[in-house]
Amino acid sequence: MNSEYGEVEIQVPHDRNGEFEPVIVKKHQSNVTGIEDQIIAMYAKGVSTRDIQDHLNHLYGIDVSPTITNKIVPLIKEWQNRPLQIVYAVVFLDAIHYKVKQDGAIVNKAAYMFIGIDLDGNKDVLGMWIGENESAKFWLGVLNDLKNRGVQDILITCVDNLTGFSQAISACYPKTEIQKCIIHQIRNSTRYVSYKDLKKVTADLKPIYKAATEEAALVELDRFEEVWGGKYPLIIRSWRNNWEELSTFFKYPPEIRKLIYTTNMIESYHRQLRKVTKGKSIFPTDEALLKMLYLATMDVLRKWTGRVQNWGQILLQLSVYFPDRIGHHLR
C-alpha cells in the first residue's frame, strides 16, 4: 500500500462469507495518501486518538502515533493570529468548562470563545483562549491580542458577569458598550432559590427584562424587591449592582435588542462543541482541548454562510446610534 511515507504493509480482515467492507481503506485501494486527513476528520468528530489507534490496528494492523493530530497545531496558531476586521458591530463572549490534567492534578478550566458580527452581518469565531482564573489582566491580554490583529473598535459586547472583563474592555476599547447576558443573570439569580419558590421567582423576574423601557424595568425591579427582597436579598443586590450593564439593551430598537439580548447564536455554537467533546471527561493537556475545539469550530464555520437575520435594518439603526464610529466604514 502506497502512502505519503512510502510503502506500508497492512493486514486486511476477512470474514467467512467475504462480506466485510472496509471503511477507511477501501477494497482494492492501493494508495492511502491522505489517511492522516481521515484520521483528523475522525478526531474532529470526537473520536479519541486511542480509539483511532485501536480501530486502525484492529482492522488493518496499522500502528498510528498518538501525536498524529499535532499536524494541526500550526494551523491553530495561524488561525489564532490571522488578521481580523477593523470594526465589529457586536462581539459575544462566553465559555464552556472542561476538566484538564495539569501538574498531576485535574483542574477545571474554561474555554473562552469570542464570536464577532462584522458590518456586513457575517458571523465569525475570532478566537478561543483556555483560562483557569478570570482577571482583568487575563482579559486585557486577550483584548490586546484582538487589537494587535487589527480590531480597532467594537460597538457592543455581550458577556456573562466575568471577573475583570468590564475593567479590561474599558481600558482597551473605552467606547464599547457592555451588555451583560440576561440569561446568565437569571440563572445566577435562581441558583440559591428553594425549589418551591423557583417557578414563582422566575416568573416575577420576567417583567423586569421584558419591560418596554428602562424606567418600566426599574419599577418592576422595585416590585420584585417588595415581594422577594426579604427572603432573597442577594438577588436584589446582584441586579442593582449590575444594572448599568444589564440594562444597555433598553436604549435600542427591537431588532438590535433581540440580537444582543438573546443567546441563540452562542448556544447553537456550544451545542456543536459539546456534541464533539462529550466523550472526553478529562483532557490530557490544554493543547489537546484546543485541538478538538478548533476542529469542531472549523466544522461550525463551514455552515455559517448567511448573514444575520434583518441585518440591513440592524445596520441602518446602528449607523444612527454610532454615526462617527461606523459611518466612514459604510461608504
- Per-domain residue ranges of the chain: 2-64, 70-180+263-331, 182-254
Which fold, 70-180+263-331?
Nucleotidyltransferase; domain 5 (3.30.420)
Q: Say what the pLDDT of residue 280 is.
A: 79
For residues 32 and 1, is the Cβ–Cβ distance under 8 A? yes
Q: What is the largest CA-CA distance in the chain?
A: 78
Give the pLDDT band (50/70/90) at residue 31.
Answer: very low
The 3-state DSSP class for residue 78 equals helix
> What separation in angstroms does the CA of 132 have from each of 97, 103, 125, 146, 296?
10, 13, 21, 20, 21
Q: What's the pLDDT score for residue 120?
A: 95
Residue 1 has pLDDT above 50, yes or no: no
Note the pLDDT of residue 222: 98
DSSP 234-247: HHHHHHHHTHHHHS
CA dihedral 208, 213, 219, 221 (to 10 degrees): 30
Residue 259, pLDDT score: 92
pLDDT reported for residue 28: 45
pLDDT at residue 6 tops 70 = no
Using the predicted structure, report yes or no on whether residue 220 has a pLDDT greater than 90.
yes
Q: Is the pLDDT of residue 5 over 50?
A: no
The answer, yes or no, to whether residue 320 has pLDDT greater than 90, is yes
